[in-house]
Each structure stands twice: as structure tokens, then as C-alpha cells.
Amino acid sequence: VTDSNDSNEQLKTDSVVPETESIGPLYDDSPESMNRRDLLRALAALGFASATGGIAWGLLEATMPQGVVQDWRKSVCRYCGTGCGILVGMNKEGVAEVRGDPEAHNAGKLCIKGSLLPLLNKAPGRLKFPMIRKDGKLVRASWKKAMSLVTSKFRRAIDLYGPNSVAYYGSGQLFTEETYTANKLFKAGIGTNNVDGNPRLCMASAAVGYTKTFGKDEPAGCYEDIDHAEVFFIIGANPAECHQPLFERIKDRKSVYPKTIIICVDPRRTLTAERSDLHLAPRPGSDLLLLWAMAHAIVEGKLFDEKFVRNHVAFQGAEGQVGWEGLRTFLDDYTPEKVQGRVGIPAAQIRDVASRFADSHATMSLWAMGLNQRVDGVALNTTMNALHLITGQINKKGATPMSLTGQANACGGVRDTGSLAHLLPHGRFVKNAEHRAEMEKLWRVPPGRIQPTPGLDAVHLFQAMGRGEVKCVLNMCSNPGQSLPNLDAYAQGMERSFFVVADAFEDTRSIRYADVVLPAALWIEKEGVFGQSERRYQLVEKLLEPPGEARADLDILVDLAERLGLGNVISAKTSAAVWNEYRKLSSHSKYNFSGMTRARLREHRGLQWPCPDEQHPGTARRYIPGDPFVPASKEHYFYGKPDGRAVVHLTPYESRAEGPDEEYPLILNTGRILEQWHTGTMTDRIAPIRNGTPRGHFEMHRYDAHQIGIEDGNEVEVKSRYGKLTGICRVTTNPLVGTLFAAFYDAEF
Ligand SMILES: Nc1nc2c(c(=O)[nH]1)N[C@H]1C(S)=C(S)[C@@H](COP(=O)(O)OP(=O)(O)OC[C@H]3O[C@@H](n4cnc5c(=O)[nH]c(N)nc54)[C@H](O)[C@@H]3O)O[C@H]1N2
Ligand SMILES: Nc1nc2c(c(=O)[nH]1)N[C@H]1C(S)=C(S)[C@@H](COP(=O)(O)OP(=O)(O)OC[C@H]3O[C@@H](n4cnc5c(=O)[nH]c(N)nc54)[C@H](O)[C@@H]3O)O[C@H]1N2
Ligand code: SF4
Ligand SMILES: [Mo]
């Protein structure tokens, strides 16, 4: 730990953003003025409908340079899985204004990232031309040259080492048509299941959790459930910053129904925690103990829904199906008294929360990365679902286990299209011979084309690249050079392989490793469908031309397919044609959205699947009457499972996470802040965001800081078993004692 006098300098903005682009700081975080956190808190207390989004708009409206709107067009925000509907105000110069669409599910609300979308496409540093690495330097090349180099490298690797020597690494931020095409090209064209991407780092455990519980992925409920719930159980998520309009909707619910209780379970005192009624701060990684202890309290206190459990639930133990007694025996290890020491929450409080969860007229749970990213992420997801099943807090308005999806199109684009290494479209599995045969038939490729074993998932892919086993990788719309875990180790993979990066902005960490860089069109510079957290598909129309020679990712994929001689497999070549193929394909599954024509998507503020025909209004809630797969005679029907019963998985807690020890006494927790998006390649180029947010830093509890002798603003070196990083330390009371927090938008720190 070193004391640095110029530490405050580092928190000030480096003006890399040209003057002309700057519309001045939205607010600064100098000690004299309100700090960022105080500002956010003050805005929240004032009850701004859309907290900072609202104020940001107020402040920014006057300074927006573009002028008068000539035409308002319906669209969707490009960033997060909330999937806010927006109105884009266009004029001759491009996007003049963006407003929340009052008719969309977000009822006109937006967060600051959405409000500042007018500055995104023209942000400095857009990639305009392809580039090829020559003697260590990236130099401009024609599309023809770049694509023929990519093709020859892929072709050679496939011929010499087989199809598994190439891979696709994608994103939950591409359009559905794009990811679907990449998946088909690699799995059914090239014949490798090496298709994965950033959703693996994000919500893969939620997808597996839903599938294990209900037989099908994706939530049963919808955002509208927020308007009916009495208890909100928010765990491992910070929606006040990461899904802000949803959190505002929760607060709105509380203001019209004051009995509403918001419970937040997070080892940090986040903005969500501050605005909740109850905040429980568990030791990181101990949530499974907490959830099973809640189940124990529910069973012990007879707070379960006996009829629902008897008729609609099955229990799966380590050795096969068990009955209710099996659950009781399993829970013996999880009395609140037995777990309280390890979780750091008193038994009485565990019982209190359990009874609130079970004994409300409707309980809605919301969770994200605090559960999904853990080593026991799948067990945490199945256990969240289990709490809802045991208590019957499901399949009624306001009662539902809702995993919050991170990216705009992780659900629709990646989970639903089956674009992960183990999946095929619409809930099918690579391992299942029938599923493979069905997809080969639907895709009109020879039997046996789809390999029977799952491909490499994100982490194993980068390891295999490092060993030289995977030779060529196409990376689209993700920045793994900054977002992968254990980066020092996996960077070797990007270094060693022939690494192709398609991105919209220059100089990302991934581009440093790239052999070929392809400039991509961004958001409304192309057309396609996004599917957000509640099974809602929405169309984004093309409103702008991409800069320079940038191309839509779909065009890049179609071009690659043709050059590889697979133009017959990728026969749909435009976004609308791909959508039509894909929409029709869905009729062979329980995802059926064949009724969502392009024309209907153009007209509606999104539609929720299932939506089996062109008159169908879409399905807000699954597994109950109204869902086209549930016969009217049944009150509940979990049709994803052969016996129609949802499954409670009795997965025991295992202490697999690396705990703190004498050598490494603290836990580092990483995540997000409201204004910045992930690796900052987009938002950190938007002047008011860059000027208004501090540079990368650590947050530490003042107790730990005092013990170690660190003062606010000191420069510190943080070391783990995997790497080290130097940065400014902010002394706060936000993280739990014994933990540190850092957001990951700033690659420099
Ligand atoms: N502003 C903004 N919004 C975003 C994004 C963004 O980059 N910026 N990204 C989007 C994406 S892709 C995603 S995945 C989501 C993520 O949405 P969130 O998961 O809500 O975001 P994180 O900041 O990762 O917050 C995770 C929370 O989990 C807590 N946590 C950590 N460990 C534990 C634990 O062991 N137990 C519990 N109970 N909690 C724990 C952390 O303290 C943190 O507050 O956000 C989406 N929305
Ligand atoms: N430490 C830490 N690491 C994490 C997480 C964490 O909580 N902590 N969270 C993980 C999670 S949940 C996620 S989702 C990932 C996110 O990780 P990434 O996906 O790597 O992060 P992004 O910054 O969203 O990267 C998207 C990239 O695509 C580019 N881009 C934007 N639009 C387009 C387009 O239309 N086409 C193309 N080709 N490119 C485009 C952007 O400029 C950007 O470089 O990070 C993971 N990594
Ligand atoms: S909450 Fe998400 S979708 Fe809505 S405006 Fe903000 S970033 Fe965009
Ligand atoms: Mo994510």
C-alpha cells in the first residue's frame, strides 16, 4: 500500500473526448460538491420517476446540440435486458433526442444510459475500416482482403485440424438474426459446437436453473407482476443501478400499496439496499445456506402451500426422486441456527424473512449476478425456484421467480436461439440425439452434421486457444480482453490464436490481441430483433447509415458463410429473411412465436412468446391458462416436464469457493454502476458519462481500511491468486467488512 498525494488527480477526467463532442460535466465528484453517491441518493429521495434518467434529461435537454426533431421513430434501447422501449427523435443530422416510450412496458422511463443514446453513434473512436495486423501493427485493409484472409485461415484450420479447431465467441448484444446465423453457420455449416459467448459469464446458470426446474428456459412471469406483488425478494442484484426502470416500478408499487416490503440481500450497501425496507448482508458465497435455511423455516413454520406441492411439484434428491419427507430430511442440515454463523445473518432474521416471503399474497424474487456468477450458480437458481414452488408463490399475478437478464438480447438472441456450446434452438440440447436429428432436418443439413458432444464453453475455449488447440476465433460484439475472468491466463489464448474481432469502437482491450479487426454497425445502424428478460421480442429498425465502411454483423456472417462455400446453409441473407426462417422454426417447439411477423413487431411494443399464430396477443404468464400450451381444464401445468410437475432440486451446499485466508484475507467483489456499461467501450466515450463518473477505483469498508492503515484516496495494490491491480481506494461503508468492491468499466484503473 502506498500513499499517493496526487491520488485525487487520478479521479479527475482526462479530456480524451474532443471539445466539440463535450456537453460539459453532468455533475462532478469533487469533495466540495455532492459526490456521485449523494447525488444518486438525493435524486432517489426526491422520487424522480426515473431517478437520474429524469434529472439527466432535464439537465441535458438544454445542452443537446442536435436541434429540432423532425420524426419520432419507435425503437429499443441497445444496452440492458430491461429492454426499454424508446422513441428516437430524428432529424437530418441523425438522432436528436431519445425518450422513453410511454406506450412500452417501461411506461416512458429510461435510465441515464438510455437518455444519452443520442450521443452513442457519433461518439469518438468508431471503427470505420477493416484492419489487418502486419508486423505487429494494425493497418487499414479492404473488406475483400480482410475477409479473404479470415476465410483462408478458417479454411486451413478446418482442413488440417478439423472443425473443432475454430470457434465463434458471441454476445447477448447482437440481434437475434445475427446470433442465430452464427450458431447455424458454425454448428450446422462448419460442424463444430464451439459456439459460446459472454452470456456464459452472465446468465448461463439462470438458463440451466429454469430448465432443470421447469423443463424449459426463460421465466414464467413478467414485469407486470411487479404491479401486483406484496413482497420483493431482491438477492444478488442491484436493480436501482442495473435495471433502473424496473426498480422504479417496484418503488411505484410501494407508493400505491404501502404494505409492500422490499428485501435486499447483498453483501454491499448498494443503492438498492438503501432504498429497500430490509437489507441483509450475507457473507459472499453463502446464499445457498441462507436459501435452504429459509426453506427450513418455511417447512418448520408450516408456511408451505401443501395443495400446490402435492399436485404440481416433484422432489429430486442426490439419488433420485424423493417425497416431502425427503425434503424434510435434507433440510435438517440447514436449520437457521446451524447456518447463521457461516451466513452472517442471525437465525431470527432468517425466520423473519422466510415468513415474509411465504406469507404474502404475492412474492416476486429478482436476482442477477450475485447469484448467477457464483460457482454454485445453478444450485442457487434451482433453489430460488424451489422457494417459490414450496410456498406456491408462483403462477399467480405478482408471484414469480424472475431472473433479471443482463444484456439487451441475451434471452432472445442467445438462450432462445440455443447459441451456447451445449444448446440447439428452442430448448434443445446438443447431447440429445433426437434434438440433433430434428435440427438437422429443419436446417436441411445431412444427418450427423451436428456433432454429438457440446463444444467449448467460454472459459474452456480460451484455455484451448492458449494451448494452441483452437486456431481461429471469430469474436463479435464482446470484449473478452477486459471482461473474462482470470484474464492474465486467458489472454494467452487471444494472443496465440488467429483472433478476429468485430467491434464498433477502436482500441478495445480485445483489439490489442486481434489479427483482423472488422468494423461493425451499431444499434440503429442495422435492423433486428431483441428479446428481453420477460420473453418480449421487439424490433429495432435501421434509422442511420453506419460510419465509413462499417457493416452489420449479419452481413459479415453471411459473407463468411459464402466465402466458406456454405452459402446454401445460410440461405437467408437479410435480417427480415432470417427472422422469417427462425420464426417459422419455432413452431416446432414450445417456444412457438411463429405469429410474430415482422409486420406485427413493427406495429406492437413488442410481443411475448408463446405467440403461435398471427392473431395471438402473446403470453404474459406461462404454465397457467392463457398460455397456449396449457389446456383450459388445468389450473397449472408445467408442460416442460413429462409429468407436468416442476422439480425442486435438493442440491446441498458445498464450500467450493475459495474463501479468504491469512495470505488473502479480503474478498474482491466486482460489478457495475448506473451510468457505465460493462467494459466502457461505449458509455465511457459519452462525455457526460465519462465526466460524471470516477475513474476505476476500489471501495473498502472503513473498518478494514483502519486495520490496514489505508486512507480515503490512497493508491493501493490489490493482489489475488490470479493477478494484481493498482488503483485508488475509496473508504466507505458500502461493502461488508472483509470485502472490497470494484466496478469493471475502466480498463486502466
Ligand atoms: N448500469 C448498468 N446496468 C447494467 C449493466 C451495466 O454494465 N451497467 N450490465 C447488464 C448486465 S449484462 C448484467 S449481467 C446485469 C447485472 O446486474 P446486477 O447483478 O444487478 O449487477 P452487479 O453490479 O453485477 O451486481 C451484483 C450484485 O451482487 C452482489 N453480490 C456479490 N456477491 C454476492 C453474493 O455472494 N451474494 C449476494 N446475495 N450478492 C452478491 C454485489 O455486491 C452486487 O451488488 O446488469 C445489466 N445492467
Ligand atoms: N470483473 C467482472 N467481469 C465481468 C462481469 C462482472 O460482473 N465482473 N460480468 C460479466 C458479464 S455478466 C457480462 S454480460 C460480460 C460483458 O462483457 P463484454 O460483452 O465483453 O462487455 P461489453 O463492454 O458489453 O462488450 C461489448 C463490445 O461490443 C461492441 N459493440 C457494441 N455494439 C456492437 C455491435 O452491434 N456489433 C459488434 N460487433 N460490436 C458491438 C462494444 O463496443 C464492446 O466492445 O462481462 C462479464 N465480466
Ligand atoms: S434500463 Fe436498460 S434498457 Fe432501459 S434505458 Fe437503461 S440501459 Fe436502456
Ligand atoms: Mo451480463
Please give the distance, rounded to the nearest whole angstrom, from the Cα atom of residue 657 to the centre of ligand 4: 20
CB 381 within 8 A of CB 371: yes
Ligand 3 is surrounded, with C-beta below 6 A, by: 77, 79-80, 82-84, 110-111, 113-114, 243-245
The residue to mutate among 75, 168, 173, 746, having the most atoms of ligand 2 within 8 angstroms of its beta carbon, is 173
Which ligand approaches the C-alpha of residue 556 most closely?
2
pLDDT tens readout for residues 12-24? 223 222 233 333 3
Q: Would you say 427 and 211 are in contact if contact means Cβ atoms under 8 Å apart?
A: yes
Residue 411 is classified by DSSP as I
The pLDDT of residue 41 is: 58
Mean pLDDT throughout 649-677? 92
CA dist 112 and 220 (Å) reads 29
Confidence of residue 102 (pLDDT cuts 50, 70, 90): very high
80, 242, 383, 741: residue to mutate for ligand 1 pocket, most atoms within 8 A of CB: 242
Q: Under a CB-based contact definition with an 8 Å cutoff, are residues 266 and 285 in contact?
A: no
| pLDDT tens per residue, range 522-554 | 999 999 999 999 999 999 999 999 999 999 999
Give the residue among 123, 81, 72 at the shortest CA–CA distance from 102. Answer: 72
Q: How far is the CA of 369 from the centre of ligand 1 (A)?
A: 5
pLDDT reported for residue 748:
86
| Residue 640 CB coordination number (10 Å) | 20
**Which tens digits make up the pLDDT trace of 433-458?**
999 999 999 999 999 999 999 999 99
Residue 449's pLDDT is 98
Given a cut of 60, is residue 57 above it in pLDDT?
no
Model confidence over 374-416: pLDDT tens digits? 999 999 999 999 999 999 999 999 999 999 999 999 999 999 9
State in Å: Cα 526 to ligand 2 middle. 19
Ligand 4 is an ion; its neighbours by CB within 5 Å are 202, 406
Q: What is the pLDDT of residues 278-329, one digit of tens each?
A: 999 999 999 999 999 999 999 999 999 999 999 999 999 999 999 999 999 9
Mean pLDDT for 98-103 is 96
pLDDT at 50: 42
Which bound ligand lies closest to the C-alpha atom of 406?
1
How far apart CA 402 and CA 399 sit, in angstroms, is 9
Which positions ≥6 away from 498 have C-beta within 8 Å?
Answer: 153, 157, 471, 472, 473, 515, 516
pLDDT category, 49, cuts 50, 70, 90? very low
Is-contact 288 375, C-beta < 8 A? no
Summarize pLDDT for 568-620 with one digit per residue, the tens: 999 999 999 999 999 999 999 999 999 999 999 999 999 999 999 999 999 99
CA angle 503, 505, 511 (to 5 degrees): 65
684 lines ligand 1 (CB under 6 A): no
| Ligand 2 nearest-atom number relative to CA 672 | 7
Q: What is the mean pLDDT of the chain?
A: 92
Percent of the residues in the chain that have a pLDDT greater than 90, as a whole number:
89
401, three cell numbers:
421467480
Instruction: Judge if the beta carbon of residue 683 lies within 6 A of ligand 1.
Output: no
User: Measured from the CA of 80, which atom of ligand 3 is nearest?
Assistant: 2
Distance between CA atoms of residues 182 and 174, nearest Å: 10
For 3-46, write each residue's pLDDT tens digit: 333 333 322 223 222 233 333 333 333 333 445 665 565 555 54
Residue 108 Cα to ligand 3 middle (Å): 11
**pLDDT of res. 3:** 30
Mutate to test the pocket of ligand 2, among 175, 201, 372, 684 (most ligand atoms within 8 A of CB): 201
**How confident is the model at residue 81, as a pLDDT?**
98
According to the model, what pLDDT value does residue 61 have? 47
| Residue 238, ligand 2, Cβ within 6 A | no
Beta carbon of 121 within 6 Å of any ligand 2 atom: no
Given a cut of 90, is residue 243 above it in pLDDT?
yes
